[in-house]
Each structure stands twice: as structure tokens, then as C-alpha cells.
Amino acid sequence: MQLSAEQSQRLLDIARAAIRQTLEGQATTEPPETDPVLMSPAGCFVSLHQRSDHQLRGCVGRLDANGPLAEVVRQTAVSVLNDPRFAGRRVQLNELPNLEIELSVLSPLAPAKNPLDFDLLNDGLFLIISNRSGCFLPQVARQTGWSKEQLLDRLCTEKLGFPAKMWQHPAARLQKFTVAILGPEPFENSGGACGS
């Protein structure tokens, strides 16, 4: 999906507003969306990192393209505050100035011809084995430097709870996708569009 600078900023502002409103105990409300691109269906991930050391503070998303992108961004932004990996230390309102936000808008899933049929640095992966599934965004390979095999091994162990080489099992089903990355940028936007 091609997004203009204005559309990208609008999505980032929707995510910021939803996170801030949720942390302030308010209902997440946005004016009705009229841009047809932002009303088209797409999946999305919202990631929060500490600005000082890029440590993850939350990453949650939806792979399916069953709802309007603007609404999926809003819902996912609220969900990132409940990332189960941070149940003991959830993001707090006073942390927002120290965070950066990034959105990954997903293309539709496409089946891989074989387990290694993906572009290591540009494709995200969604692996399904025996009713378990796991996903890595393309940013994972870029940040870690893992090979295709290492990426699939880690996907099996970290996301599916299987032995590393389970991706080679005949029942394994791999799908791939691309992303449009919006950000990362400071959560507190100097433009003030995220509300006060």
C-alpha cells in the first residue's frame, strides 16, 4: 500500500491519540475517516521503543486485512498497551515523552512456494504448524543479521514453542508479506497533533 506523507502522519496521529486517551482513562474517539486509502482494509503492527536505547516496550499487530486501516491502527494502538510480554511493567502515561512509535502497514499475505521462498530483508513471515502460528516483521532480520534458516529457527522456538527445525516439517505452511514502515519517530510529536 502506497501512503502519502499526509496519510502516514494521519495514521501515526491516530495511534498516538488512541494510546494517550487509553492511558488517560478516556474513550478512544476519532472523527470519522473520509480518506478512501485509510478506509481500505489492511493489517497493521504498532511498536513502541524507548528512545534512549531502542529497547522494546510493546509490539502488537493484526495480520488480517478485515477492517479499515484507520480503525485497525486505532485498535492495535490500544492493544499495544497490553502486550503480554510487559504485563509486569506496562507503558505508563509519564513514559510517552521517552518513547518512539512505529507503524508497520501490511500487504496481504501471500503463500511461499517453499520454506526459503522469501526476501530476507524485505518480507515479513507468518508460519503455521499444527494450529500454532507466529510472525516476524521484516525489521527482525534487518536488526539481528540472522540468515533465512536462523530466522525460521527462531520463529519456531520463540513464537511457536517448537524445536528449531520444525519449519522443515511437511505440514509447515509459510506465508509472507511486505510492510510500509511509518516512523519510527518520537511519540511526542513536536507538531502537537497528538493532543495534550
Q: Which residues of 165-177 are buried (b: 16+ CB within 10 A; e: fewer)?
A: ebbeeeebebbbb
Cell of 166: 520444525
Cell of 138: 521484516
Per-residue pLDDT of 138-178, as tens digits, reads: 999 999 999 999 999 999 999 999 999 999 999 999 999 99
Per-residue pLDDT of 25-73, as tens digits, reads: 998 777 778 899 999 999 999 999 999 999 999 999 999 878 899 999 9
What does CATH list as the number for 5-107+179-186? Answer: 3.30.700.20
Identify the residue whose cell numbers are 488512541.
18
Residue 149, C-beta contacts closer than 8 angstroms, at least 6 positions apart: 116
Cell of 22: 487509553
Answer whether 9's CB lies under 8 Å from 17's CB. Answer: no
What does CATH list as the number for 110-177? Answer: 3.30.1490.150
Q: How far is CA 160 from CA 63, 123, 135, 137, 172, in A?
A: 16, 19, 9, 15, 11
What letter represents residue 35's amino acid?
D
pTM of the model: 0.88
What are the extents of the domains in the chain? 5-107+179-186, 110-177
Q: Which residues of 118-130 are buried (b: 16+ CB within 10 A; e: fewer)?
A: bebeebbbbbebe
Residue 178, C-beta contacts closer than 8 angstroms, at least 6 positions apart: 106, 107, 122, 123, 124, 138
Tell me: pLDDT of 192 over 60: no
